[in-house]
Amino acid sequence: MQKKTKKSFHLYTYQKVILSYFISITICAWILYPIMHRILNYPPGTVDTQFQVEYGGLTYTQQFIILYVVITVLFLLYQRFVLFKKIANLERSGGVNSNLYSVTEIRNTLLTAPKKFYLLQIIIPFIAITIGLGMPVVKHEVESSGITVAILWVTVFTFNATISYVFSKNLFKSILMKTFKENKLDMKHSKLSNDMMLILLPILIAGLFFIAIVSYSRLVKARGDDIYKYYKNEFSYVFDENSSYTEDELINTLNSLEYINDTDTYFVIDNDKNITTSDGEPLTDFFTKYIYELSDQFDGRVYEHYAVNTQGYVKHVTVNNSDYIVGIKFPINAGSALFYIVISFIVLFGVISFLLWYYSTSLSNQIKMIVNGLNDINTKNNDEFKKIPIISNDELGELTVEFNKIQDLTKHNIEKIHDSQETLMEKERLASLGQLIGGIAHNLKTPIMSISGAAEGLNDLIKEYDSSIDDPEVNSEDHHDIAKDMSSWVEKIKTHTEYMSDIITAVKGQAVTLSNEQDITFTVGELLKRVNILMKHELKNAIIYLNISMKVDENLVLKGDVNSLVQVINNMISNSIQAYNGKPDQNIDLIVTKENNNLLISVKDYATGLPQEAKDKLFKEMVTTKGKNGTGLGLYMSYSTIRAHFNGNITFESEEGKGTTFIISLPID
């Protein structure tokens, strides 16, 4: 049942994205279809007519639908086999419960997918229009007026790309929310200012281009209307419909006309459809076809081709009692106007782009200030917090106000945590001392019994010596023997009292409060001596053997709080003992080595190792593998102690079933 739910979730999300894309591209196509041929000034009478079929093979509507379908299918295939294939694989492998790398990979895909769609929806239509998809009409448009056609299509698809970007980004939120989990793998990040420029700048360009194209299209149309009317009036004036002309009279009349442009040319078509032009260039098939089939419908007006800014005017005259067609062919490009439109576009685009960049950067910097403030809360002490100034009265201003409130609350909470932490750590230390009491009592009991025995021996010797003072049989050699025995007992007492003194010193060191910690100099030998004394009883009770391997000079001098360092090492040894779960006759290796300028103290056991969950949180949280018997404070406090008081580090190596090694690294001069 769970598998079916995951699959339906994947299909549901995919269907929503496809539907949103289909709706957006359909709306854009619906808007573009009725206006495209008007903007491109298609010749009247050639849109979706038999004329267009005979000349180009496909009607305007058919071409439009094919381009629309091809571009749509390309994007649907990309979405299906690139993006949603990864989503489906994620769900089949366990969804949000799959491995961290897979989840992070799919989240990065979802975060970057809307941008990829956005760019592809601009690039693919441009490429599709440029290559023409093998359509004769479109091919001719690209050759003759490709810039206009490409800009128009890219403009429309840019608007569509923006719509689909907004919808897909919103739809992907559902998956991103379901796959969210705290992790340390790097997510792909992008700057807000770059995202704003990426989305808004193409829209800006598309909008300006669209305005420029429409303006230029209307200007060209108006210019064509004016030139057409001028030549129509001229031809009506110089050619009388009821008169007949000779060929020479016809040519002379055409040469005597006042032409608007130097590039305007006349042409004559005789009764046998032989064409003579003033510049010697033949008329195009489209132009001549339009003359014969459609010019009469549009009062003698003739068009060169689809989206080509060349037109003409024709009139039927009688020449040598035969029906001739005379006409004028003229370009209608508004070159100077186009130049000023382009210059205005460049200037306006530059100004708006700069303002957009400046504003987006300013907005991004405001957000960055809050991000940096949150980072300060996470990394700095509470006395280093700085409030963020309020520089706007919008939502960012409200966010800044709330951030400053959170900062004050965080500072207060950190102070309370520090107070509680000191108490907690002191309790942990006292708890550790409580565990040592049994061992200390046992360690002290043996030397005390030995001293008591030595005192009894000395007492017997004193009595013996006292009774022998007046004994004539006791000679000087006997006195020396008694003194030697007494000296032997004194040495034994001295040895045991020194051992007791070491125990008391070690216990006293662990009993001091955190506020009384002091940095002193001590040797590696002294350090290990204290460790051995304090752990002796616990090791003995567990029947665990501590193997000390000293690979450095025991007189190597260290500086710091020796008591805290002893507690850290003892805590690690205790953890190793407990890792064996009461299994006797096991070994723990305590290895002291030197690497570069660091002293390495390794505590190694051969028990069960640490589970992955504990590895991920070790030293970062108060985690324990001892269940209710552990607080997790020991290692957490140990790590903090080494970092804060020795400027060192603690690392570990662990493999389940083979054991764990903790390594304390201390810098030495």
pLDDT digits (tens, 9 = 90+) for 189-199: 566 666 666 66
Instruction: Categorize the per-residue pLDDT at 593 as very low, low, confident or very high, splitting at 50, 70 and 90.
Output: very high
The answer on 60 and 154 residing in a single domain is: yes
Which domain, by its residues, includes 107?
2-189
Based on the fold, state whether residues 32 and 163 are members of the same structural domain: yes
Domain boundary pick from 333, 364, 397 = 333
Residues 372 and 248 in one domain: no
Q: What is the mean pLDDT of residues 274-290?
A: 90
Q: Taking 70 as the threshold, does the pLDDT of residue 533 lie above it?
A: yes
Listed in sequence order, the residues at least 6 apart from 638 whose beta carbon sits closer than 8 Å to its beta carbon are 567, 568, 571, 572, 650
Mean pLDDT on 392-415: 73
Which residues in 530-597 belong to E strands, given as ranges? 544-550, 557-560, 586-595
Return the number of other C-beta atoms located less than 10 Å from residue 191's C-beta: 14
Q: Both 126 and 9 in a single domain?
A: yes
Average pLDDT over residues 507-532: 70
Angstrom distance (rounded) from CA 177 to CA 111: 12
Instruction: Indicate whether 164 and 27 sit together in one domain.
Output: yes
Q: How many domains does the chain have?
A: 4
429 inside domain: no
Q: Assess whether 185 and 254 both reside in one domain.
A: no
Instruction: Return the number of other C-beta atoms located less than 10 Å from residue 74's C-beta.
Output: 16
pLDDT value of position 482:
76
Report yes or no on 206 lying in a domain: no
What is the tens place of the pLDDT at every residue in 475-493? 777 777 777 877 887 877 7
Rounded-to-integer distance, Cα 484 and Cα 491, Å: 11
Handedness of CA 232, 233, 236, 238 (dihedral sign): negative
Task: Please report which confidence band the pLDDT of residue 531 belongs to, taking 50, 70 and 90 as the band edges.
Answer: confident
The answer to whether residue 2 scores a pLDDT higher than 50 is: no
* Structure confidence at residue 308 as a pLDDT band (50, 70, 90): confident
| 223 within a domain of the structure (yes/no) | no
148-157, 207-216, 411-420, 621-630: segment of lowest average pLDDT:
621-630
Q: Is the pLDDT of residue 540 over 70?
A: yes
Give the residue-averaged pLDDT of 216-231. 88
Residue 285 has pLDDT above 80, yes or no: yes
Give the 3-state secondary structure percentages of the chain, helix then strand then coil, rounded to 5. Answer: 65, 15, 20
- Beta-carbon neighbour count of residue 189 at 10 Å? 7
- C-beta contacts of 221-224 below 8 A and 24+ residues apart: 221/41, 223/332, 223/334, 224/41, 224/309, 224/311, 224/332
Q: Quick one: tokens of 82?
A: 């690139």
- Cβ-based neighbours of 149, under 8 Å, separated by 6 or more: 40, 129, 138, 141, 142, 307
In total, the chain counts a number of residues equal to 669
Query: Of 15-29, 178-192, 285-299, where does the model show the most confidence?
Result: 285-299
Of 279, 307, 333, the one marking the end of a domain is 333
Do 88 and 164 have their domain in common? yes
Per-residue pLDDT averaged across 382-399, rounded? Answer: 68
Domain end residue (candidates: 170, 189, 208): 189
Contact between 268 and 288 (Cβ < 8 Å) = no
What value does the mean pLDDT take over residues 457-468? 76
What pLDDT was estimated at residue 648?
A: 87
Same domain, 119 and 22: yes
**What pLDDT, in 10s, does the model give residues 132-181?**
534 444 444 434 455 566 666 667 777 777 776 766 666 666 666 666 65
Nearest-angstrom CA–CA distance, 578 and 562 = 24
Tell me: do 131 and 170 sit in the same domain. Answer: yes
The 3-state DSSP class for residue 527 equals helix
Within-domain flag for 233: no
Q: What is the dihedral of CA 95, 99, 102, 106, to 10 degrees?
A: 40
Same domain, 163 and 24: yes
Does residue 12 lie in a domain region?
A: yes
In a domain, 634, yes or no: yes
With 70 as the cut, is the pLDDT of residue 554 above it? Answer: yes
Answer yes or no: is pLDDT of 3 > 50: no
Residues 547 and 591 in one domain: yes
Q: Is the pTM of the predicted complex or chain greater than 0.85?
A: no
- Indicate if 309 and 174 belong to the same structural domain: no
Mean pLDDT of 469-473: 73
Is 90 exceeded by the pLDDT of residue 377? no
In-domain check, residue 112: yes
Which tokens in the block code for residue 29?
């196509």
| CATH number of domain containing 566 | 3.30.565.10
At 420 the pLDDT is: 65
Is 378 or 97 the better-scoring residue by pLDDT? 378
Asked whether residue 514 is domain-assigned, the answer is no
Gyration radius of the chain over CA positions: 48
Phi, psi of 268 (to 5 degrees): -135, 130
